[in-house]
Amino acid sequence: MRVLASIPVLAAVASAQGSAWSQCGGIGWAGATSCVSGYTCTKLNDYYYQCIPGSTTYPTCPGLTTSTSSSSAAPVTTTLKTSTVPTSIRSTIFDSSPGAPSATAVPSNPNPTVLEPGWYWIRAVAAPNFHKYLQSGTSSAASSNQTALLEDHTTAGQFNIIDGQIVFNTKPSQLYLNVENPADKTQRKLKTWFSTTKNAYGTFKFQGDTLTWSVADIKRPNEAAWLVCTGQEVFINTGAYLYQTPAGCADQTIHSYSGSTADL
């Protein structure tokens, strides 16, 4: 009878282990804090621990702060399209011909500089983009299809997640962070941009204070993995964090911040 009673316990322990390259700890993390056999829970920064190949036993990650946020999410219903990147965004990112719009210019700030009730700053907390803040690539808050950037605190935007959407607190109308829906589901980088149209691909949520994105038809090893690439442009990282990072990009996690001003 004792052997039978131990089976559910063992099953619970096994189910609590993080998979290869998944997050296993950090400030605000409420998920698994140990890794499957052959992987070690390794600290990358205070906000992020990851299951990395190694034989050392590391059953739990120290210094974790629990969160009341739930890591579960309702099933996501998506409508697949062959392309969801607007022409204006594609040309902004890739067209280097004379006179083409620049996605890398830091705008004069059209956004509130003091945090308004019900909103958050969103920023990176580790090098090479320490305290770079999420914002758009144009000074015109009214225009759609604005490149998403991590840039200087002086031009930071204010955001919240409402019904799975990242909503940008712009005036007079709000913008939404959109994600590219690739034809090739193994594509490593997914473009992001702000638009007056709601995002139709995937769901955003906060895990603690960590910003995550998930979608039903792409199995990501880490839903908190982002890339900041040339020109400070923000991409979804569909691969493992800090593994085979695309050229010209840096791995980042990004987090909400509720201080009254966007500090350095």
pLDDT of residue 105: 45
Alpha-carbon distance of 258 to 120, in angstroms, equals: 5
pLDDT of residue 25: 87
Q: Give 216-261 pLDDT, tens digit per residue.
A: 999 999 999 999 999 999 999 999 999 999 999 999 999 999 999 9
pLDDT of residue 182: 98
Q: Give 67-81 pLDDT, tens digit per residue.
A: 333 444 444 443 434
Region 50-71: what's the mean pLDDT?
A: 50
Region 81-99: what's the mean pLDDT?
A: 42
Q: Is 104 exposed, middle or buried (0-12, 13-18, 19+ CB in 10 A)?
A: middle
Is the pLDDT higher at 1 or at 248? 248
Location of structure tokens 């204010």: 158
Alpha-carbon distance of 177 to 198, in angstroms, equals: 7
Rounded to the nearest 5°, which phi and psi values hold at 261? -130, 160
Segment holding 228, helix H or strand E: strand 226-229
Region 207-211: what's the mean pLDDT?
A: 96
Alpha-carbon distance of 213 to 194, in angstroms, equals: 15
Domains of the chain, start order: 2-53 (no CATH), 87-257 (2.80.10)
Region 117-138: what's the mean pLDDT?
A: 95
Give 205's DSSP letter.
E
Give 128's DSSP letter.
T
